Amino acid sequence: MADLHVYIGYREVSSWSLRAWLPLKKTGMPFDETLIRYRLPEHKQRLLSVSPTGKVPLLVHRRDGAEIKVWDSIAIGEYLADSFPGARLWPADPVARAFARSISAEMHNGFRPLRDHLPMALLERHPKAIDDVDAQADIARVAEIWRQARDNWGRKQGGPWLFGHYTVADGMYAPIVTRFRTYGVELDPICEAYIETVTADADFRAWEAQAEIDPPQEPLPD
Ligand SMILES: N[C@@H](CCC(=O)N[C@@H](CS)C(=O)NCC(=O)O)C(=O)O
Distance CA 178, CA 121 (A): 8
Strand order in the sheet with 31-35: 31-35, 4-8, 58-63, 66-71
Q: How far does the centroid of ligand 1 lie from the alpha carbon of residue 97, in Å?
A: 26
Both 39 and 99 in a single domain?
no
Mutate to test the pocket of ligand 1, among 6, 21, 39, 55 (most ligand atoms within 8 A of CB): 55
Both 95 and 199 in a single domain?
yes
Both 93 and 201 in a single domain?
yes
**pLDDT per residue as tens digits for the range 150-187:** 999 999 999 999 999 999 999 999 999 999 999 999 99
Q: How far does the centroid of ligand 1 lie from the alpha carbon of residue 73, in Å?
A: 9
**pLDDT per residue as tens digits for the range 81-116:** 999 999 999 999 999 999 999 999 999 999 999 999
Residue 221: pLDDT over 80: no
Q: Which residue has a Cα nearest atom 15 of ligand 1?
A: 55
Q: Which residue has a Cα nearest atom 12 of ligand 1?
A: 55
Is residue 220, in this structure, part of any structural domain at all?
A: no
Both 135 and 58 in a single domain?
no
Distance CA 57, CA 222 (A): 24
Note the pLDDT of residue 136: 98
Both 68 and 99 in a single domain?
no
Residue 53 · residue 71 · CB < 8 Å: yes
Number of domains into which the chain is organized? 2
